Each structure stands twice: as structure tokens, then as C-alpha cells.
Structure 1
Amino acid sequence: MNIRVTAYDTALHGQLVDIWERAVRATHHFLTEEDIDFYRTVVRGEALLANVVWIAIGAEGQAVGFIGLANSHVEMLFVDPVFHGQGIGKKLIQHAIGQVGPDISVDVNEQNEPAVLFYKRLGFKQVGRSDLDGSGRPFPLLHMKMISE
């Protein structure tokens, strides 16, 4: 798939929130509707604005995914479920590495096994674990770091 990565554009903010929600509903089956409402408010409000965000744009000119970084830490990576498995997440990670270097880390929900496997395939290794997520909710996180061999 022909994808280009571009900087965050406020005109696409609503599309990114929609991508986030569709991706979460497709992959985060452990979240309740109340949890999704809580996190949607965070994403719609400060999360997209508090991070350096790059957007994957598809051949039709539409946003198909995005990545948000705080320094060299991946705070969010979401791809529209219609486009899962087409290399978009990998392209976004590669773009991030090109921007900040190979010393990159991510926290991933332990219950989101496909995401854990995705990061492992890209060379991330688990370096820690937390019982609570960044909002203090009981969703364990695996702390992962890109390990160059």
C-alpha cells in the first residue's frame, strides 16, 4: 500500500479520534463502554495535542493511522482496522525511529496480545511491567524497548 507520513494537521483531528475509537473497539476487548468513553475524552482533548503526532495518509488521501511520541516514547499508535496487517504500523514506527533514533520505547496493554506480538516482531523487548495504566486504571502495561542486536 502506498502510504505517506505527514505531520499532525488540526483539520484531521476528528478523523484521528475516529481511527482511535475504531482501532480500540477492534483490539481492546477488555475495555468497557465506560472505559472507552473516558479514554476518548483524553484522546480528543489533550493526548493528540500533547504529543508529536505523525499521520499515515493512504492512496485516497485519507488518514489511515497515526503515531504520537513524547521524546522517544511511543504514547500512541493506532491504525484504522480496515487497514490492519498492511504495514502501516510498521511504517509509522520506522518513521518515528527516523525522527528520534533507535532508542525508542512503548507501553502496551498486556491484554492486547496482537499489539504485544506486533512490537516483538519489530524488535521490541519487554523491560518491565506495571499493574496499572498511565491513568491509574487496572489495565496492566508491558514496558517495551527497541533492542538493537
Structure 2
Amino acid sequence: MTSAPAPVHLRRATATDATATADVWLRSFAATLPTVVRPRTDDEVRAHFRDVVVPLRETWVAEAAAGLVGVMVLDGALLSQLYLDPGWRGCGIGDRFVALAKERRPDGLTLWTFQVNEPAHRFYERHGFLAVERTDGSGNEEREPDVRYVWRPGR
């Protein structure tokens, strides 16, 4: 864990953030999900963030003096991405992102995470999300068994 040398600011992503946002995703995915096969190359991931994620989704970034250290993406009620630079895990950024997501979607949220990602399960459950569905992974690009979580206010 790296302690933040300066405040971390959450803000909406802009087009100029696309590459740095994708790079946070790539570093986080590699560090936290080493057994999950990625169906896209690094360049394809960067193009996806540039062409789809940042311009078409509600994309938020965590920015520190060192640059972008986190990304969260909302697509309707779906919290579709929440990734932190590995050195910035445990600094409260994920907690802040979830609080922001709940503020932005006060009627509820849903998300998917891989079954192998036990730290994510603990994180989301600590924030009031309940596991409501488990799959064999046939419905995702990675073909990795996953879990759908739901948060509703008042739980």
C-alpha cells in the first residue's frame, strides 16, 4: 500500500484521460486477476476506453499528484468498472468511488465480478452489496465464472 502523497481528487474523465484510464485498468487487471485470460490486447483495451468507455459511459477517475490512480464506470445502474492502480489499493479510493456510485444511482446498483476475485467480494459485501447470481462465465468475454451483486438503498 502506498500512502497518498497528496489528496486524491475524484472527477469525470475527459477524452484526454482515455489512455491513462486504460493503463490503470491494465495494471489493476494484471495484478488482481492474474489467472483470468484477457480476450483483448493492451492496444484493444486502450482503443475501447478511447472510443467507448470514456465518451459513452459515465466514467470517473481518481487523480493524485502522480497522475490517474483509479477508474470507475457507470452504465445506467451497472457499476461496470472499478479498478485501482495496485499501489493505491487500501487508501480509501474504492470506498469513495462506491459512495459516489451510490450517490449517482440512489435507487440501486448492480455489478459483476469474477468468482476468483475474493477481495472484490469482501469489498462489495462490506458496502452492502448482496450476491444474487453466479454463472459459469459463458456470458462474458473472458469465459470466467462470475457473480452478480446488487445494492439497494436501505439494506
Same fold (TM over 0.5): yes
The answer (yes or no) to whether the contact 1:5–1:95 under 8 Å persists in 2 is no
After superposition, the C-alpha distances for 1:64-102 in whole angstroms (9 at most, x for unaligned) are 101001112101011111101111111011111111215
Q: Distance in 2 between matches of 1:125 and 1:82?
A: 27
Q: d(CA) in 1 for partners of 2:151 and 2:41? A: 31
Deviation by residue 1:15-44 (Cα, 9 ceiling, x = unmatched): 111100000000111223x53527725445
Identical residues among aligned pairs (%): 22
Paired residues of 2:57 and 2:73 also in contact (CA < 8 A): yes
User: Higher helix share goes to which structure?
Assistant: 1
Match of 1:77 in 2: 82
Query: 1:125: which partner in 2?
Result: 130
User: Which of structures 1 and 2 has the larger relative contact order (alpha carbons within 8 angstroms, sep 6+)?
Assistant: 2
Q: Flag the 1:136–1:21 CA change in 2: closer, same or farther, 3 A.
A: closer
1:57 corresponds to: 63
Alignment partner, residue 6 of structure 1: 11
Paired residues for 1:106-117 under 5 Å: 106-117=111-122
TM-score, structure 1 normalization: 0.86
Unmatched tracts of structure 1, length 5 or more: none
Find the counterpart in structure 2 of residue 140 from structure 1.
145
- With normalisation by structure 2, the TM-score equals 0.83
What is the alpha-carbon distance in structure 1 between the residues aligned to residue 145 and residue 61 of structure 2?
27
Q: Which runs of 5+ in 2 are unaligned?
A: none
Q: Residue 25 of structure 1 aligns to a residue in which SS?
A: helix
